[in-house]
Amino acid sequence: MDVTIPEGGFWPAPEIPRPNIYPMEWRVETAKLAEIYEKSKRMVWNPADLPWDSLRAEDFTVEQRLGIMYWFSVLANFDASGPAVFARATIQAFEKHEEDPVRKCFFSITRDEMNHEECCQRTIARLWPGGPLNWEPATDLERAAHNNIGWLYHNGGRYWLAYNRAVGKYTLPVLFTSFMMGELAASTLFRGMASGTTHPVFSEMFHRIGRDESRHLQICMTILDVEWPGLTDETRELITRQLRAGFVFLSMILWEPPEGFWEIPPYFLPNHRILMNHAKQGGLGILSYEEQAENWRVAMARVRAIVERWGIAFPAIPELDIDGVEVGDIDPEDIIPVF
Ligand SMILES: [Fe+2]
Ligand SMILES: [Fe+2]
């Protein structure tokens, strides 16, 4: 059977308006990213398989259970935003026709973050049914926890609105520098907590999540190695600001929230400390204020060494005695980092 060839030749299909996920294509430019994606598929794990039966509410005091629920609610402000944040970034990568391994790696991060979110969900369900917010506090400590979590998610909400505006606006290097900060923070946090916890469920959870976060960091670094050589001065300045924004945002879970950005009432931090201390007494593996600061400092030094190679100035972080460029106040629009 012969095909029909019109007189004068075929008619070209109309051009597809951009941004668009069509036409379909599977371009591979960075083989290393494709390799990391293969590895991510082989390393998939199931949070449901953790030894949950050994996490029993009756093994903790009420204050410890509340503290642990509180910590996972704080973690969820970051880790539970991961699936939605990276799902949106995945769609963006399709629409902008990034090479195939970039899209696939984004998808794999989305998948992993869903597991991390599930860990928050399952732990809270076992130790504090109704948590984070769907329960009635009965004591002052419980009221403090409930109120703090409400304020925390108010800030998470500001982050989400700003992220939606930012994700299409920023170029890949800017977006990925932020993601890189988030992943570095996450791998630092979980490595520390895996070594500090005394509970088998948390130990296995933190080891596995930490391994995922290291892989996410590897993905970011591989993409940045490709993107950074073409930076403009304007983008460099934007990245310096992003690094400071990353510190301000992520310190809530890694250390303590600094001034600027966070809209929290004056009693938030004292109550936060008390709740964190109860979680620590429960064996969660939270490091001391000084240990956390030192880990953060080491992580920042790593970021600094990396970005300075590409002529990107590092921001001043006086909270950790790190000198650098002054970038002024941080707005919600500046905040991109996730876990
Ligand atoms: Fe991550
Ligand atoms: Fe995560």
pLDDT band, very low/low/confident/very high, at 137 (cuts 50, 70, 90): very high
Distance from the alpha carbon of residue 114 to the mean position of ligand 1, in angstroms? 10
Distance from the alpha carbon of residue 88 to the mean position of ligand 1, in angstroms? 15
Class of domain 58-334: mainly alpha
Give percent above pLDDT 90 in the chain: 79
Tokens standing for 182? 């988030």
Give percent above pLDDT 70 in the chain: 99
Model pTM score? 0.94
Q: Give the mean pLDDT of 288-315.
A: 92
Q: Give the mean pLDDT of 73-99.
A: 94
pLDDT at 75: 97
Nearest ligand to the CA of 217 is: 1
Query: How many Cα atoms are found within 13 Å in the side-chain-facing hemisphere of 243?
Result: 29
Nearest ligand to the CA of 183 is: 1
Nearest ligand to the CA of 75 is: 2
Distance from the alpha carbon of residue 127 to the mean position of ligand 1, in angstroms? 25
If we measure between CA atoms, which residue out of 211, 212, 183, 191 comes closest to residue 112?
A: 212
If we measure between CA atoms, which residue out of 118, 110, 111, 108 comes closest to residue 87?
A: 110
The label of the residue with tokens 């946090």 reads: 189
User: Domain coordinates of the chain in residue numbers?
Assistant: 58-334
* Calpha distance 7→9 (Å, rounded): 5
Residues within 5 Å of ion ligand 1 by Cβ? 183, 213, 216, 339
User: What is the SS3 assignment for 179?
Assistant: helix
User: What is the SS3 assignment for 73?
Assistant: helix
Q: What is the amino acid identity at position 201?
A: V
- pLDDT higher than 90, residue 67: yes
If we measure between CA atoms, which residue out of 272, 248, 254 comes closest to residue 187?
A: 254
* Calpha distance 224→306 (Å, rounded): 10
Nearest ligand to the CA of 113 is: 2
Nearest ligand to the CA of 109 is: 1
- pLDDT higher than 80, residue 84: yes
pLDDT at 148: 98
